[in-house]
Amino acid sequence: MFTVDNVEVGLKISENLVNNIQNYKDLYLYLKSIGLEFEEVTEDMKSLKGMKFALTGEGPMKRSEIQKLIEAKGGDVGSVGKATTFLVTNDPESNSGKMNQARKLGVNVINYEALFNSYLKG
């Protein structure tokens, strides 16, 4: 991914640009000339590789955007199951179906603040 004036360009667009750079050389040179910074994402930067998250409750942004952030760092997002690393919630005391399933399976529960401060920062 890359940013322009603190606006992040999505993973699919940036991957398409990088994978087809030979077709976009003029665009690439123009974007660099106006200050666009490109950052290579390597496998060792994917700090959530092998981790699975389930999301419940209202987060600080759309759930689809949170999912994209997790996936960009190599994590997976899905339903609560035996392989789930964390259930992320806005209310750890909830009695929702996902919370009850997480408790039953012994899945770790964290709030959205912990997700962003500990796993999605940087």
pTM summary value? 0.64
* pLDDT tens digits, one per residue of 66-79: 999 999 888 999 99
Cα Rg of the chain (Å, integer): 18
CATH superfamily, region 44-119: BRCT domain (3.40.50.10190)
* pLDDT tens digits, one per residue of 26-60: 887 888 899 877 666 555 556 898 999 999 999 99
| 51 contacts 76 by C-beta, under 8 angstroms | yes
* pLDDT tens digits, one per residue of 89-100: 999 999 999 999
Domain boundaries, the chain: 2-33, 44-119
Q: Crossing angle, helix 11-19 and helix 63-72, to 10 degrees?
A: 40
Dihedral of the alpha carbons of 101, 58, 46, 34, in degrees to the nearest 10: 170
